């Protein structure tokens, strides 16, 4: 018997919370999802009561998700679903007991990884969505399983997400007795690219997409990120710039040059496009040996903060965000290969585990873009089918992003605007000043962009929460014109709000008009 019908058959006196939960639990444990999805293997079926902290000890350690708190009664289902003779996806879908709005959300991945974002599954179900995630065709945070296996690369490029959503919708109909009324996607970084790719190739999959910091123009992005290591050199090499110098001398000089362009000294480069860092100011004067850089190091900085181009001047990728140094030293400026790019060239572009990242040059990025496996590039000018069916997209990007420059999302949106001046009818973009990659930073970065800290402490309502905003746009036709971000004291909601800022609809920019800079009313979008 279908769950919805079963609930209607319950006598009125039995429809208390306890009886209702027990009915849901029994329905969950009697469900046979493997019978609905061809050749799938059930790996988990369990009822999870609200308040449980799931032990994820069987999760791949590199995914760094040992546990997950759950705040809704739900039915947790996991399957292994084949995608070819030598590839498959690990698939999880969580069915909440309360599903009155009949909403479904798929979640994205990050890096080049195969890590289900359990925090996003919990976020979705806490707000009444059925939530689904996959391992993107491989386990862990490296690309080694892609080596000599194009089927796994195909899963990673597009197939895992689409397969997961097709399976989830089948299971939803069987479990609840009805299909979702509205379907959504939420993801950041690689997940942002996945959302754009879905709109491009499978426009029927989602009604609304939140595509944060999207890794679009993917092949050139991998080249741009590989470019840093040959410039910086390895730790201890000649003219190597230490992490302490990056986060101290250089970062402080960038803030000195750019922080107050907006007339407010707050550690935030409000509009990064107005900041053109001049590293010559750090060049050592005669006989100066401390708190300065030598000429070779200054040249490094000039390359690092410049747009990445071919030798003929053709743009490969936009310049890095100035002001991201505190986080960029972890990967881009760490004096070691950027692991995602190294794996992409080793296991996808060249099928050579011994490829040396220190030899990277522009021929490598050219080869990557020519290969473009399964059209992973994801750089459309228009999305006509998605637009025609009424689909909506919201993007956001941090102004001090340390992994994917926000200038790339501006370039992407501008390119689409030139092809379709009415793009705002279905695709809108917000720049989040002072945000690092996907979350955290000195700015008002909490906008409901994912589970955990990005949503803690704010309500699920469209003015402050981008996930709620896409729902409001899709279901009620209310397109957002601004997005209120929140910065908590020490990034802890329990300590209260430090400040809020209303982030502008691109291409408008935040403009300080006077007063307490921590008050949203002291800024205007112009």
Q: Catalytic amino acids?
A: 189, 401, 437
The residue among 240, 279, 232 whose CA lies nearest residue 256 is 279
Burial level of 463, CB count in 10 A (0-12/13-18/19+)? middle
For 83, phi then psi, to 5°, come to -115, -15
Dihedral of the alpha carbons of 380, 367, 301, 440, in degrees to the nearest 10: 50
What is the 3-state secondary structure of 361-385? CHHHHHHHHHHCHHHCCCCCCCCHH
In whole angstroms, give the CA distance from residue 166 to residue 19. Answer: 32
Handedness of CA 337, 341, 342, 345 (dihedral sign): negative
CA–CA distances in Å: residue 355 to residues 147, 165, 316, 336, 348: 12, 36, 21, 14, 11
As a 3-state breakdown, the chain gives helix, strand, coil percent values, each rounded to 5, of 40, 20, 40
Tally of residues, the chain? 526
Work out whether the CA dihedral 406, 412, 416, 417 comes out positive or negative.
positive
Q: How far is CA 156 from the centre of its chain?
A: 15
Parallel/antiparallel/unpaired status of strands 74-84 and 87-96: antiparallel
Whose CA is closest to 469, among 169, 212, 107, 201?
212
Residue-wise over 233-247: b if at least 16 C-beta within 10 A, else e?
beeeeeeebebebbb
Of the candidates 304, 298, 280, 282, the residue with the CA atom closest to the CA atom of residue 230: 304
Cα 101 to chain centroid distance, Å, stands at 25
Q: What is the largest CA-CA distance in the chain?
A: 89
Counts of helices then strands in the chain (DSSP H, E): 16, 17
């Amino acid at each position: 018997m279908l769950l919805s019908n079963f609930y209607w058959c319950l006598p009125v006196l039995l429809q208390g919370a306890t009886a209702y939960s027990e009915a849901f639990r029994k329905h969950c444990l009697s469900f046979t999802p493997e019978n609905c999805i061809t050749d799938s293997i059930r790996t988990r079926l369990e009822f999870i009561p609200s308040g449980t902290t799931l032990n994820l000890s069987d999760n791949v350690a590199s995914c760094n998700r040992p546990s997950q708190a759950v705040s809704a009664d739900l039915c947790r289902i996991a399957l292994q679903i084949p995608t070819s003779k030598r590839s498959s996806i690990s698939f999880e879908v969580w069915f909440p007991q309360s599903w009155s709005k009949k909403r479904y959300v798929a979640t994205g991945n990050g890096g080049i990884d195969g890590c289900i974002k359990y925090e996003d599954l919990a976020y979705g179900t806490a707000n009444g969505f059925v939530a689904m995630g996959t391992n993107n065709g491989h386990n862990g945070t490296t690309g080694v399983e892609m080596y000599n296996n194009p089927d796994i690369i195909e899963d990673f490029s597009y197939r895992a997400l689409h397969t997961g959503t097709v399976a989830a919708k089948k299971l939803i109909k069987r479990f609840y007795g009805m299909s979702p009324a509205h379907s959504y996607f939420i993801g950041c970084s690689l997940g942002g690219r996945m959302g754009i790719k879905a709109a491009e190739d499978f426009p029927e999959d989602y009604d609304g997409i939140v595509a944060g910091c999207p890794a679009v123009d993917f092949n050139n992005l991998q080249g741009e990120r590989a470019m840093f290591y040959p410039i910086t050199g390895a730790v201890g090499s000649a003219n190597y710039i230490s992490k302490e110098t990056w986060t101290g001398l250089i970062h402080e000089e960038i803030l000195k040059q750019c922080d107050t362009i907006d007339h407010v000294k707050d550690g935030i480069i409000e509009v990064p496009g107005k900041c053109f860092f001049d590293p010559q100011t750090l060049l050592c004067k005669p006989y100066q040996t401390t708190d300065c850089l030598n000429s070779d190091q200054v040249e490094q900085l000039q390359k690092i903060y410049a747009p990445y181009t071919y030798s003929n001047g053709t743009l490969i990728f936009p310049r890095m965000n100035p002001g991201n140094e505190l986080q960029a030293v972890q990967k881009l400026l760490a004096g070691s290969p950027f692991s995602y790019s190294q794996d992409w060239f080793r296991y996808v572009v060249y099928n050579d585990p011994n490829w040396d990242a220190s030899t990277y040059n522009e021929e490598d990025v050219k080869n990557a873009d020519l290969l473009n496996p399964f059209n992973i590039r994801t750089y459309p000018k228009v999305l006509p089918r998605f637009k025609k069916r009424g689909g909506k997209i919201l993007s956001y990007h941090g102004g001090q992003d340390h992994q994917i420059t926000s200038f790339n999302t501006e370039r992407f949106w501008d390119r689409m605007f030139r092809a379709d001046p009415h793009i705002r009818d279905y695709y809108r973009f917000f720049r989040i000043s002072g945000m690092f990659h996907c979350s955290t930073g000195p700015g008002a970065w909490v906008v409901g962009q994912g589970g955990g800290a990005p949503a803690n402490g704010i309500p699920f309502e469209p003015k402050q929460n981008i996930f709620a905003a896409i729902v409001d746009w899709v279901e009620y036709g209310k397109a957002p014109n601004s997005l209120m971000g929140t910065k908590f004291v020490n990034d802890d909601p329990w300590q209260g709000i430090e400040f809020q800022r209303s982030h502008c609809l691109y291409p408008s920019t935040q403009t300080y008009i006077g007063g307490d800079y921590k008050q949203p009313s002291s800024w205007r979008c112009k």
